[in-house]
């Protein structure tokens, strides 16, 4: 039986302490957030998912919660999580608003890092209460995600009158709210992608190279090293820079690039780009002396000009 739907607009100050929750888009994020809200006493009542994987994910994390169309999710829920890809979000919001699926007083929450609250303007005009709550966390689509939300920072953007409601929801999910201005959302999201998404690429490449070098357990070798490097970086920033680039060991860097050209040519461009960025930061921070940097920068410039080493402004 469908949950009864309130037809009267709800003032957020009069909203019941516990809400019915719907999820539009059962990707990796939505079901985990719904479970976190469920643990806080809210009640998931509907979820939408298109692919077989999303439907399985919904069944695993939200057993017994019916899988329905997006419009039906909004009809059943007071709090709706829009957890769809960034490029899909604007069109989804416009469509839901145009078809009358959005109800006055309904809390509409999206989890995109790229967008603030303005992407929800079509729903706002329909009377919804718009919130942008982006968990700064990588998700697997499994129950472990719920545990990882404990202490996770959320990028929060919302109208001033809804700020307390947004922060309260984040705290209920075990997270820590961090206010992000509307105009700063793209920069905020770029910063997270630079740190987290590119880190996965770098680690995966490192593991592949260690395997080629004969290391039988590259994950076990890298774990302590990368853990210490991350801890040092978070504590000390650029002062934690170390290694041949930060020391200005041009010969070692040249040897690295030579090996990569032989064994992993696809990794050369990334190595050169990161070496250049590391050298710039080490120079600016005073770790790399100008006299030591000269030979290093010559090596990098020479390698960038070689075939297979995309230099600044070049395409591959």
CB burial readout 123-162, b (16+ within 10 A) else e: bbebebbbbbbbbbbebebeeebbeebeebebbbbbbeeb
Q: pLDDT band for 310, please (50, 70, 90 cuts).
A: very low
Higher model confidence: residue 314 or residue 287? 287
Instruction: Give the rounded percent of residues in the chain with a pLDDT score beyond 90.
Output: 89
Q: How many CB atoms lie within 10 A of CB 110?
A: 29
Dihedral angle at the C-alpha atoms of 310, 312, 313, 316, nearest 10 degrees? 10
Whether 315 has a pLDDT exceeding 90, the answer reads no
Instruction: Quickly state the pLDDT bin for 291 (edges 50, 70, 90).
Output: confident
Q: What is the pLDDT of residue 292?
A: 87
Tell me the pLDDT tens digit for each residue of 156-189. 999 999 999 999 999 999 999 999 999 999 999 9
pLDDT for the residue 11:
47
Q: What is the pTM of this model?
A: 0.84
């Amino acid at each position: 039986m469908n949950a009864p739907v309130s037809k009267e607009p709800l003032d957020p100050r009069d909203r019941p302490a516990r809400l019915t929750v719907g999820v539009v888009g059962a990707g990796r994020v939505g079901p985990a957030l719904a479970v976190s809200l469920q643990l806080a006493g809210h009640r998931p009542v509907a979820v939408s998912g298109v692919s077989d994987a999303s439907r399985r994910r919904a069944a695993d994390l939200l057993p017994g919660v019916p899988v329905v169309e997006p419009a039906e999710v909004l009809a059943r829920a007071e709090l709706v999580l829009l957890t769809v890809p960034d490029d899909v979000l604007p069109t989804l919001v416009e469509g839901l608003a145009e078809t009358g699926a959005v109800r006055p007083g309904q809390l509409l929450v999206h989890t995109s890092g790229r967008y603030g609250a303005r992407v929800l303007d079509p729903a706002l005009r329909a009377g919804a209460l718009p919130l942008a709550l982006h968990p700064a966390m990588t998700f697997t689509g499994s129950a472990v995600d719920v545990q990882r939300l404990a202490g996770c920072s959320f990028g929060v953007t919302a109208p001033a009158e809804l700020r307390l409601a947004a922060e309260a929801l984040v705290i209920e999910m075990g997270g820590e709210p961090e206010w992000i201005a509307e105009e700063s959302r793209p920069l905020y999201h770029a910063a997270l992608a630079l740190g987290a998404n590119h880190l996965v690429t770098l680690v995966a490449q490192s593991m592949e190279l260690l395997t080629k070098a004969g290391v039988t357990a590259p994950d076990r070798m890298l774990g302590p090293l990368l853990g210490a490097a991350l801890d040092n970086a978070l504590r000390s920033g650029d002062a934690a820079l170390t290694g041949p680039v930060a020391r200005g060991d041009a010969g070692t860097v040249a040897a690295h690039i030579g090996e990569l050209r032989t064994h992993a040519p696809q990794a050369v461009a990334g190595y050169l780009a990161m070496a250049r960025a590391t050298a710039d930061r080490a120079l600016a921070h005073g770790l790399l002396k100008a006299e030591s940097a000269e030979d290093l920068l010559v090596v990098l410039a020479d390698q960038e000009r070689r075939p297979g080493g995309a230099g600044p402004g070049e395409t591959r």
